[in-house]
C-alpha cells in the first residue's frame, strides 16, 4: 500500500508518459554519445556558472572552465554594473586572457581592465579592446573589430547563466519554464554564507545526477549514518516521495519532513542534539517570510525539501529548514566529471548558529562521499557491457526523465524538442 497517493494513471512514471520497461545505460559508457551530448546539449542549453554575489562590485570577475564546450569564460561586472561573459581568449594571438598561477585553474578577483600576460593588450570590462602595445607596428587594426568575444549571458534570481550557441534558441526565461521561474522570489540573495565543495568523479555526469534524483537508496546506502534505532525504522519503512513534477526538460522531487527535535533522543546522534543541526539543516530556521508558490508546489506537510533538477547539469535543492544547496556536474569526458556542491545559509549571527551550520555542512559531506563512491563502481560495471537492461522503479522516475530528455536533445540536433 502506497504511503502517498499516486496519480490517476497508477504511477508517476506513467503519469509523465514515460516507458516502464528496463532501461539501457549505453548513453553513459560511450565516447561517441558523449560527443553528441556536447554538441546537441551543452552547446545549446543555458548553463549556470555561478551567482551574482560572486561579483560584489564593479570590476569583480571570475573565470569558469567549461571543458564540455571546449572553452573558458570570464564573467565580469562592468563599470555600468552589468554582468557580462566573454570567451577567455586574447584577440591578438589567442593566449588565455585571465588566469593566475596555472592556466587550467579557475580564478577570481577584481580589476579595472584585463591585460594579457603575453603582449599587454588591454580590454575594458565591457570587452572593448582599449590598448595595443606598439600599435604603430600593426597593419591598420581596427580596435572596434577586436574586442573580446561575448558569450550570451542572462541572469535569473541571481543565478548567472551562459549559452555558447551563436544564437540561443530560447531566452533563459523560456528555457527555464514556469516550474523553475516560480521560484524567482525565493530569498537566495539572503543566503550568502557559502560552503563550497568540489571533486572529480570517475563516472558519467548523468550517473551522479541520477544518484541525487532518487531517495530510494537513502535508507540503505546511508544506513550507517544514523543510530541503529533510526536506521532500522527507516529501512523497514523504505522510501516514497510525496511529490514528483516535470516541466519540459526540468524535473522536481519533494520529500516529506522529519521533525528531529520531536524525536526520541536515542534515535539521534548526540552531536545533533548538542548542535541542533544535521543532514536536514539547522533545527532553528531563519525567518524567511512567505515563500513563493513555486516552493513545495505539491504542498507536502510536513515538507522536507524540493530537489529541482535544471537541465542539463544543475540542481537547486531547497530545504524546508530555510537553506539551499546547489549541485553542478561538469562533464570532462564520457566517464569523468567535476562535481561542485555549494551549501548556502543565511549568515550566522552568533557561534551557536555557526555551529548548527557547520554540523549540517559536515554531515552533507559524509553522505555525499558515500554517494560518490558508488558511482565509480557503477561506471566500471556498466562499461563491462555484460548487462544491458536495468529495471527502474517508480521512485526512480526522474532518472528515466533525465535520460529521455538527453536522448530527445541528442536525436533532434536542430531546434529544441517540444
Partner 1 sequence: MSPLLPPEFADLEPYAGQWCLATEAERFERRMASDMDEMGAFYAAFSPRLEEAIEFCDKYPLDELPDDVAHPLQLIHSLVMVSMAVEVFHQPKIVDAADAVLLRVREPRP
CA atoms lying within 13 Å on the CB side of residue 118: 13
- Of 318, 370, 77, which Cα lies nearest the Cα of 201? 370
Piece of the chain touching partner 1 by CB under 8 A; list 28-36, 86-94, 223-231, 382-390: 223-231
Q: Is 351 in the site for partner 1 (CB under 8 A)?
A: yes
Nearest to partner 1 of 301, 373 (CB atom): 373
Q: Is 102 in the site for partner 1 (CB under 8 A)?
A: no
Shortest gap between Cβ of 195 and partner 1 (angstroms)? 5
Contact assessment for residue 340 and residue 206, using Cβ atoms and an 8 Å cutoff: no
Contact assessment for residue 29 and residue 383, using Cβ atoms and an 8 Å cutoff: yes
Nearest to partner 1 of 293, 377 (CB atom): 377
Binding-site member from 13, 63, 72, 275 for partner 1 (CB under 8 A): 275
Piece of the chain touching partner 1 by CB under 8 A; list 19-27, 34-42, 251-259, 343-351: 343-351
Q: What angle do CA 155, 159, 164 make, to 5 degrees?
A: 60
Q: Is 372 in the site for partner 1 (CB under 8 A)?
A: yes
Residues 231-270 that bind partner 1 (CB under 8 A): 269-270
Nearest to partner 1 of 11, 374 (CB atom): 374
Binding mask 188-207 for partner 1 (x = CB under 8 A): -----xxxxxxxx-------
Contact assessment for residue 115 and residue 71, using Cβ atoms and an 8 Å cutoff: no
CB atoms within 10 A of CB 260: 21
42 CA to centre of own chain: 14
Nearest to partner 1 of 70, 333 (CB atom): 333
Task: Convert 154-193 into a string of H (helix), E (strand) and C (coil).
Answer: EEECCEEEEECCCCCCCCHHHHHHHHHHCCCCCCHHHCCE
Nearest to partner 1 of 319, 339 (CB atom): 339
- Positive or negative torsion for Cα 398, 399, 401, 406: positive
What span, in angstroms and rounded, lies between the C-alpha atoms of 412 and 32?
16
Residues of this chain that interact with partner 1 (CB under 8 A) are 193-200, 221, 224-226, 269-271, 274-275, 339, 341-342, 347-352, 354-355, 357-359, 361-363, 365-366, 368-370, 372-374, 376-377
Amino acid at each position: 500500500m502506497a504511503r502517498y497517493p499516486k496519480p490517476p494513471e497508477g504511477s508517476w512514471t506513467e503519469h509523465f508518459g514515460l516507458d516502464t520497461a528496463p532501461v539501457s545505460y549505453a548513453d553513459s559508457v560511450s565516447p561517441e554519445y558523449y560527443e553528441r551530448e556536447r554538441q546537441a546539449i551543452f552547446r545549446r542549453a543555458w548553463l549556470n556558472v555561478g551567482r551574482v554575489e560572486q561579483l560584489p562590485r564593479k570590476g569583480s570577475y571570475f573565470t569558469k572552465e567549461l571543458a564540455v564546450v571546449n572553452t573558458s569564460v570570464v564573467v565580469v561586472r562592468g563599470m555600468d554594473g552589468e554582468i557580462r561573459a566573454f570567451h577567455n581568449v586574447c584577440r591578438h594571438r589567442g593566449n588565455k586572457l585571465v588566469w593566475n598561477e596555472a592556466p587550467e585553474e579557475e580564478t577570481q578577483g577584481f580589476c579595472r581592465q584585463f591585460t594579457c600576460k603575453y603582449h599587454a593588450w588591454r580590454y575594458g570590462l565591457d570587452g572593448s579592446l582599449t590598448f595595443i602595445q606598439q600599435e604603430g607596428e600593426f597593419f591598420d587594426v581596427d580596435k572596434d573589430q577586436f574586442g573580446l568575444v561575448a558569450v550570451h549571458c542572462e541572469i535569473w534570481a541571481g543565478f548567472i547563466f551562459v549559452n555558447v550557441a551563436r544564437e540561443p534558441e530560447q531566452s533563459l526565461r523560456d528555457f527555464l519554464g514556469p516550474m523553475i521561474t516560480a521560484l524567482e522570489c525565493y530569498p537566495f540573495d539572503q543566503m550568502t554564507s557559502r560552503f563550497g565543495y568540489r571533486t572529480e568523479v570517475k563516472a558519467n555526469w548523468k550517473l551522479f545526477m541520477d544518484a541525487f534524483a532518487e531517495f530510494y537508496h537513502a535508507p540503505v546506502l546511508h544506513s550507517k549514518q544514523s543510530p541503529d534505532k533510526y536506521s532500522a525504522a527507516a529501512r523497514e519503512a523504505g522510501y516514497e516521495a510525496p511529490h514528483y513534477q516535470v516541466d519540459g526538460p526540468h524535473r522536481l522531487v519533494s520529500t516529506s519532513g522529519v521533525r528531529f527535535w520531536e524525536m526520541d533522543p536515542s534515535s539521534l546522534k548526540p552531536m545533533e542534539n548538542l548542535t541542533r543541526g544535521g543532514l536536514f539543516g539547522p533545527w532553528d530556521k531563519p525567518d524567511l517570510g512567505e515563500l513563493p508558490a513555486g516552493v513545495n508546489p505539491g504542498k507536502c506537510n510536513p515538507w522536507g525539501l524540493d530537489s529541482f533538477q535544471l537541465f542539463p547539469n544543475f540542481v537547486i535543492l531547497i530545504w524546508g529548514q530555510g537553506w539551499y544547496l546547489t549541485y553542478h556536474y561538469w562533464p570532462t569526458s564520457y566517464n569523468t566529471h567535476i562535481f561542485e556542491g555549494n551549501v548556502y545559509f543565511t549568515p550566522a549571527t552568533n557561534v551557536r548558529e555557526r555551529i548548527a551550520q557547520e554540523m549540517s555542512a559536515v554531515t552533507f559531506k559524509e553522505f555525499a562521499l558515500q554517494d560518490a563512491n558508488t558511482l565509480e563502481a557503477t561506471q566500471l560495471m556498466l562499461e563491462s557491457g555484460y548487462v544491458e537492461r536495468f529495471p527502474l522503479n517508480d521512485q526512480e522516475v526522474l532518472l528515466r526523465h533525465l535520460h529521455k530528455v538527453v536522448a530527445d536533445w541528442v536525436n533532434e540536433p536542430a531546434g529544441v524538442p517540444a
